[in-house]
């Protein structure tokens, strides 16, 4: 099952990678056409980044428990930092971030 998932991600990445070459040429048109950059960014976000964000959220939720056990003796600041790193940031990337925008 994991092998099929990895192969499908690899195939998706290979199919979408040539589109990046033409992105700058198409986005310079101002004829009211849909900007190719925006479409490519949204497709890349849906196909590649959102599944990775979901994986990071699940992994972060699992790693949050031992992180809290180690950071709790230091006070609530350590727990808050662990929550921000392992749960809040992946949740914001998965759910709150607008489609096609990342890295800002």
What are the backbone angles phi and psi of residue 25, rounded to the nearest 5°? -65, -45
Query: Quick check: 31 pLDDT over 60?
Result: no
Residue-wise pLDDT for 48-88, tens only, equals 999 999 999 999 999 999 999 998 888 888 899 999 999 99
DSSP assignment of 10-23 equals HHHHHHHTTHHHHH
What's the pLDDT at 40? 84
Buried b (16+ CB within 10 A) or exposed e, 48-66: ebbeebeebbeebeeebee
Of the two residues 8 and 20, the one the predictor is more confident about is 8
What's the pLDDT at 83? 94
Domain ranges of the chain: 2-27+34-96
- Count of CB atoms within 10 A of residue 101's CB? 11
Instruction: Give dist(CA 32, CA 85) in Å, integer.
Output: 41
């Amino acid at each position: 099952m994991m092998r099929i998932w990895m192969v499908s991600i690899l195939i998706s990445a290979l199919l979408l990678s040539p589109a990046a070459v033409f992105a700058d040429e198409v986005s310079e048109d101002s004829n009211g056409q849909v900007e190719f950059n925006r479409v490519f960014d949204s497709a890349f976000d849906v196909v590649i980044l959102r599944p990775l964000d979901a994986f990071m959220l699940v992994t972060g939720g699992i790693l949050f428990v031992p992180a809290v056990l180690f950071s709790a003796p230091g006070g609530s600041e350590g727990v808050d930092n662990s929550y921000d790193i392992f749960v809040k940031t992946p949740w914001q990337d998965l759910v709150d971030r607008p489609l096609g925008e990342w890295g800002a």
